[in-house]
A and B are shown apart, each in its own frame.
Chain A
């Protein structure tokens, strides 16, 4: 009897380890995460306006139907990315996610404070490579550091009422996300 209780205890302890490993491994093995869901509709390093979520078809769960959204699936392997998003009349935001869906940075139109949100996305290594004189002028340009080489930029524009949805979608349609190698600036 005691022997079986000991085996049970050992099993429970091992189960705890299985639990921790499973939780930590899951983001790497998930096949239906946001990045995988968006891969078929979003070409690399360009802006793709996403279809509005409807009860029949949604790319991702929990999308806010009051927003028009566009996504840029990025890969910084060949250099930084320059992102320009025109501001729609109501509210515009840009959120950055890693390959595994961690929201590492987000900005809205008011904190950007201009008529368009303009920024550069690069890895920490690429930022370190910036020439020193370039870094001096960095105060008036927004640089976002990506913790991973690949990820997602989600651009969203609010339609405060359904009739304003075309305006919001049109604003996102003018957004651009393109590779801008550092050497071109020097």
Chain B
């Protein structure tokens, strides 16, 4: 009787630990081979054959097709430079320059990777569309209400995800530090 109770207990613990850690690992995102620069994180290995088993599982579960390494690299930001989650009711200013690339796009998604609808039907910018300062730097304001200049509407959602994709760029698996890839700053102000 004791043996039976004990093994049932052990099996229950095993199921809880095994499936719980799997779920956590797949929803929190993989930490292997991540390149973190400021608020931005990229997983360049996800676009290669050397993708780790956790990233493979996460990709199969979400149903996305990662950007191939010969195509470009995707940087994700879920929080600002101070580590606070991006909130669609606050104003977020993305400014500075991007690493060298032929084109880049900045897109706003909900935390599950879906586009968010809004009145002006804008979900992102390409490097060709934005208004720049004379020195080539830019300011993009991600905010719930209309702004002059480069305005990306959040539609007031609780949380969102920004993806900056660099196409035909030397940034990739070999990139280690911010000096090789100067990413724009992400500053959030909540009123």
Contact = CB atoms under 8 A, between A and B. Distances in A.
Interface of A: 3-4, 7-8, 10-19, 21-24, 26-27, 30, 32-34, 36-37, 53-56, 58, 60-62, 64-67, 90-91, 93, 95-97, 100-108, 110-111, 147, 152, 154, 156, 158-161
B115 A106 contact: no
B186 to A, nearest CB: 19
B18 interface: yes
Contact of A11 (B13, B62, B115): B13
Contact of B18 (A3, A18, A56): A18
A114 to B, nearest CB: 16
Interface in B140-185: 163, 165, 167-168
B19 interface: yes
Nearest to B48: A103
B18 A34 contact: no
A26 B71 contact: no
A11 B12 contact: yes
A154 B65 contact: yes
Secondary structure at the A interface, as helix, strand, loop or mixed, is mixed
B14 A18 contact: yes
Interface stretch (B31-39, B78-86, B124-132): B124-132
Interface in B19-64: 19, 21-22, 25-26, 46-49, 51, 53-54, 56-57, 59-64
Interface residues of B, number: 63
B61 A56 contact: no
Given A62-B163, A110-B168, A101 B53 contact: no
B126 A158 contact: yes
A27 to B, nearest CB: 4
B61 A60 contact: no
A97 B65 contact: yes
B57 A33 contact: no
Contact of A7 (B10, B22, B53): B10
Given A61-B112, A106-B71, A30 B126 contact: no
A101 B14 contact: no
A14 B113 contact: no
Contacts of A100: 56, 60
A144 B7 CA distance: 52
B65 A102 contact: no
A103 B65 contact: yes
Contacts of A27: 56-57, 59-60
A64 B126 CA distance: 10
Nearest to A94: B71
Nearest to B5: A7
Given A4-B6, A23-B57, A156-B71, 16 more contacts: A12-B14, A19-B18, A19-B21, A23-B22, A26-B26, A32-B61, A55-B117, A66-B107, A95-B68, A101-B65, A103-B51, A104-B49, A108-B168, A158-B126, A160-B126, A160-B128
Nearest to A21: B18
